[in-house]
Amino acid sequence: MAGNESHHVLDLPSFTDPVKMLIVVAPYYKDIADNMIAGAKATAEKVGASVDIVEVPGALEIPTAIGMASRMADYDCYVALGCVIRGETTHYDTVCNDSSRGLTLLGLQGLCIGNGILTVENRSQAEVRADPADQDKGGGAAAAALHLVALSRKWANRTKGIGFRPAGEEFRIAGETEGPSRA
């Protein structure tokens, strides 16, 4: 069981410029969501990040809200918080898979997202994972988002070797000293 294992946890990054974090939470299980928010806010506070919180109806709406915020607002990172508890139907699988897939696709577009959507078999598993004094998955999701912000800032001005030329640089075929420009 993962709860009994020891895991390496990275130290939180430090920032010279302020970090703006948006927590998007589906408070379907309000007590669990509140615990996760508390953990995420405490982690953000440790690095001086400012936090805004928005609520959405369910886990499936979290990626949409983050996508909208990335286009319409000004945040450095996003924390997805919610809880999906297995029920009697296959709806659980749909919600777990599609919310995760949506967040992954946004992340691959360059958004800094910490995924704290719990996918559990029962309420007691959710309570342990959400509790800031126990597994603190809300704090872990915030930490993940903050680590991605640190990476994005580290690599922000890099242009070498990432598939495009800086403005004004001509294309040259390897081995040619003078050749046609292929812009």
Give me the active site residues, please: 91
Other beta carbons within 10 Å of 30: 11
Question: How many angstroms separate the CA atoms of 63 and 172, rounded?
Answer: 42
The pairing of strands 77-85 and 50-55 is unpaired
* Pair of tokens at residue 134: 């126990």
**SS3 of 153, please?**
helix
Q: What type of residue sits at position 118?
A: L
* Pair of tokens at residue 150: 């640190």
